[in-house]
Amino acid sequence: MAEKTLEALLKEDRHFPPPQDFRERAVVRDPKVYEQAAQDRLKFWESFAQQLHWFKKWERVLEWNPPLAQWFVGGRTNLSFNCLDRHLTGSRRNKTAILWEGEPGEERTLTYAQLHREVCRFANGLKELGVCRGDRVTLYMPMVPELAIAMLACARIGAPHSVIFGGFSAEALRDRINDSKSKVLVTADGGWRRGAVVPLKRNADEALEGSPSIEKAIVFQRIGTDASPIMKPGRDLWWHELVARQPDWCDPEPLDSEEMLYLLYTSGTTGKPKGIIHTTGGYMVGCFATTQWVFDLKEEDLFWCTADIGWVTGHSYVVYGPLLNGATTLMYEGAPDFPAKDRFWTIVKKYGVNVFYTAPTAIRAFMKWGEEWPKKHNLSSLRLLGSVGEPINPEAWIWYRQTIGGGRCPIVDTWWQTETGHILISPLPGITDLKPGSATRPFPGIEADVVDDKGNSADAGYLVIRSPWPGMLRGIYGDPERYKTQYWARFPGVYFTGDGCKRDADGYFWLLGRVDDVLKVSGHRLSTMEIESALVDHQSVAESAVIGKPHEIKENAIVAFVTLKGNVKATPELMDELKAHVVKKIGSIARPDEILFTAELPKTRSGKIMRRLLRDIAEGKALGDTTTLADTSVVQALKEKYEESE
Ligand code: PRX
């Protein structure tokens, strides 16, 4: 984050207590919850576990052999049972579980009883194809209810799912399938995005040419005649044909608390994405508790988390958290600006959304589009707003509160990560005085801290978590060493988040963005190394260095400095070709905003690229310390060239 903004942020002294009527009706009203949870963290988490269904009760809440944690040890449970069957005996049986709107405008509702039936049938379909407990299943789907159905079906039979965001390219999909060695791929003939078809099946076909572990591909028909995919005999089968012959009941597997629930790939500091492992019992309890307390969920609420299920926010707060609580979760397939820039507000008004959870990058885009769009709609059904994915600047926070929340809705700015599984830092909306731009305090039972370089508690430095929490990742798939070095080595026995953070005199946390080579671009998590590898993969590129440059809406714009091989000429056509190459290797979310060709990259005498200087150049700042450079003229020339190119 730029220093100027940081300074402004830390001078932020406005605060907003919960409105009285909100406080009076809130799920959590008593500030003592913090103290009570801190006194006995295990008892705190156990109290949530007790509200869920277990085939066999746990023997111990936690077993902690740093950095390996086991939660609800010895317990047996099933996520799908807890999300579905548990609600079927009472008044929730015919309550809407999923309310869906397709981008072209179709509506679908699935009650708990209907969702249960669909999940059972698909689970039986997976079994028919030979999927057994422990087998991985990759899901590459649009935002349709069938994605949630497939996840819950996997959870029901104990086959870990690996959801791959539909915006990833064929190559990215293939790498992730191969890393997880999935047996089955579930995809669709396509999805709708801004009126165009996302060719999921075509990408899947390309990926499957190099994915030998996949035995079967199940294809959901979302588009129909406009897509007409080629079905490969013996490998591909239609979803509707598979489920048509299945019975409505499928026994839920009583899974061990620590059995793998899912894998989710995310970017780290190297070129290779990591398959984050989440297990059953602890993740379930963490999602259940945080959804209820942070979003103040009431029986009649309609909850809308706008995240794509391809990311962790969608896993925990579109699917598992709301369904564990018996809530109604809204799913929308398409873009926020299609067919017009008020699509979200049309949806809020049409269905009467009560709790709305989105990302700062979206809020900043709404701000830019102008308040006339939300003003066209009556948004008075909203009572609570949420934010996630990146730091929210106070201006966007205030705009969100006023323009979307009508000045009456509290905002929960929630900090967490793919690795943490669920929210770890957030206000409790009935208790917490809010400060615009601060995620406020650790959730009860979470021991977060800010530390300096040596690992001592400090007012500013790195955000760490000092003790285990139920939904924490249990490892990186196929790479146990990387799990240890990545998260637990910097400060032994303490979880290193990779985020910078400041704590104010009231103990409020102010997140300052990543301190490593991970970039947040429109809320998507990317690694600079991954983009560099994609560029270097092109035949014309000798070397590249990628940095993030502060961007008004996206938080970061991707800037790539590229040196070309031998006598390859730097042309505008080549620049476009390189951008397209990155899209092909990773997906359009990683397309560089700017590429600058340079004869050389600034390096230290030991050959390390000095990214700090590249960032200074891209931000138009005076160059910092250049004394360690091997050749100072390189950076000066580069700076001049960059300024010319702008
Ligand atoms: O830098 C933090 C930022 O998003 C990172 C995690 O990204 P991902 O695994 O994709 O998960 C995003 C959704 C949970 C964090 O390391 N981040 C997330 N939430 C916030 C945030 N930064 C500031 N404030 C937040 N509320």
pLDDT tens string 541-579: 999 999 999 999 999 999 999 999 998 999 999 999 999
pLDDT band at 6 (very low <50, low <70, confident <90, very high): low
Question: Among 465, 476, 525, 554, which residue has the most ligand 1 atoms within 8 Å of its CB, making it the best to mutate?
Answer: 525
Q: How remote is the CA of residue 510 from the centroid of ligand 1, in Å?
A: 12
pLDDT value for 630? 80
Mean pLDDT of all residues belonging to the chain: 96
* pLDDT greater than 90 at residue 277: yes
For strand 236-238 and strand 255-256, is the pairing parallel, antiparallel, or unpaired?
unpaired
360: cis peptide before it, omega within 30°? no
Residue-level pLDDT at 633: 84
Identity of residue 174: R
pLDDT, residue 631, reads 81
CA nearest neighbour of 377 among 430, 422, 326, 340? 340
Among 318, 388, 423, residue to substitute to test ligand 1 (most atoms within 8 Å of Cβ)? 388
Nearest residue by C-alpha to atom 8 in ligand 1: 417
- Closest ligand 1 atom to 414 CA: 26
User: Which pLDDT score, from 0 to 100, does residue 645 have?
Assistant: 81
Distance in Å, CA 340 to ligand 1 centroid:
28
pLDDT value, residue 514: 94
Written as six digits, the tokens of 276 are 């984050």
Atom number of ligand 1 nearest to Cα 392: 24
Lowest mean pLDDT among 13-22, 171-180, 312-321, 463-472: 13-22
Q: What confidence tier does 270 reach under pLDDT thresholds 50, 70, 90?
A: confident
- Are 396 and 368 spatial neighbours (Cβ–Cβ below 8 Å)? no
Give the ligand 1 atom nearest the CA of 497: 16
Candidates 6, 412, 413, 417: which one to mutate for ligand 1, based on the most atoms within 8 Å of Cβ? 417
Q: Give the pLDDT band (50/70/90) at residue 225.
A: confident
pLDDT tens profile 516-531: 999 999 999 999 999 9
Provide DSSP, 432-472.
PPB-TT--BSBPTT--EEEE-TTS-B-SEEEEEE-S--TT-
Task: State in Å: Cα 388 to ligand 1 middle.
Answer: 7
Task: Compute φ and ψ for 233, nearest 5 degrees.
Answer: -60, 140
Name all residues whose Cβ lies below 6 A of ligand 1.
266, 311-313, 388-391, 413-418, 439, 497-499, 511, 513-514, 520, 525
178-204 pLDDT, tens digit per residue, is 999 999 999 999 999 999 999 999 999
- Averaged pLDDT for residues 331-337: 97
Q: Which of 558, 516, 565 minimizes the C-alpha distance to 537?
A: 565
Atom number in ligand 1 closest to CA 418: 9
Nearest CA to ligand 1 atom 15: 417
Q: What percent of the chain has pLDDT over 90?
A: 90
Our measurement of the distance from residue 465's CA atom to the centroid of its chain's CA atoms, rounded to an integer in Å, reads 19
Question: pLDDT class for 8, splitting at 50, 70, 90?
Answer: low
Instruction: Write the residue with the smallest CA distance to atom 4 of ligand 1.
Output: 389
pLDDT for the residue 580 = 98
Q: Would you say residue 282 has pLDDT above 90? A: yes
Q: Residue 1 pLDDT more than 50?
A: no
Q: Which residue has the higher pLDDT, 644 or 342?
A: 342
Decide: 294 and 426 in contact? Cβ < 8 Å.
Answer: yes
Q: Which residue in 375, 421, 425 sits closest to 399, CA to CA?
A: 375
Give pLDDT tens digits for 463-482: 999 999 999 999 999 999 99
DSSP-assigned beta bridge partners for residue 502 = 460, 510
Instruction: Determine the distance separating the centroid of ligand 1 and the alpha carbon of 354, expressed in angstroms.
Output: 24
SS3 218: strand
pLDDT in tens, 607-633: 889 888 999 999 888 887 788 888 888
Among the residue ranges 88-102, 180-194, 263-277, the one predicted with the least confidence is 263-277
Question: Which residues, other chains included, contact 387 with Cβ-Cβ below 8 Å and sequence gap of 6+?
Answer: 357, 358, 359, 360, 363, 397, 400, 411, 412, 413, 414
pLDDT for residue 131: 98
Position in ligand 1 atom list of the atom nearest CA 514: 1
My answer on whether omega of the bond before 391 falls inside 30° of 0, hence cis, is: no
Model pLDDT for residues 55-90, shown as the tens digit of each residue: 999 999 999 999 999 999 999 999 999 999 999 999
Q: Which atom of ligand 1 is nearest to the CA of 391?
A: 23
What separation in Å is there between the alpha carbon of 358 and the centre of ligand 1?
A: 12
- With a threshold of 0.75, does the pTM exceed it? yes
pLDDT for 641:
85
Rounded Cα gap, residues 289 and 325, in angstroms: 9
Per-residue pLDDT at 5: 59
Pocket test for ligand 1, best of 385, 400, 416, 496 (most atoms within 8 A of CB): 416
Looking at residue 636, what is its pLDDT? 85
For ligand 1, atom 11, the nearest C-alpha belongs to 417
Mutate to test the pocket of ligand 1, among 278, 415, 473 (most ligand atoms within 8 A of CB): 415
**Do 195 and 162 meet the contact criterion of CB atoms below 8 Å apart?**
no
Atom of ligand 1 nearest to the CA of 307: 13
**Is the pLDDT score of 3 beyond 80?**
no
Which pLDDT tens digit goes with each residue over 392-451? 999 999 999 999 999 999 999 999 999 999 999 999 999 999 999 999 999 999 999 999
Average pLDDT over residues 111-125: 98
How many angstroms is it from 389 CA to the middle of ligand 1? 4
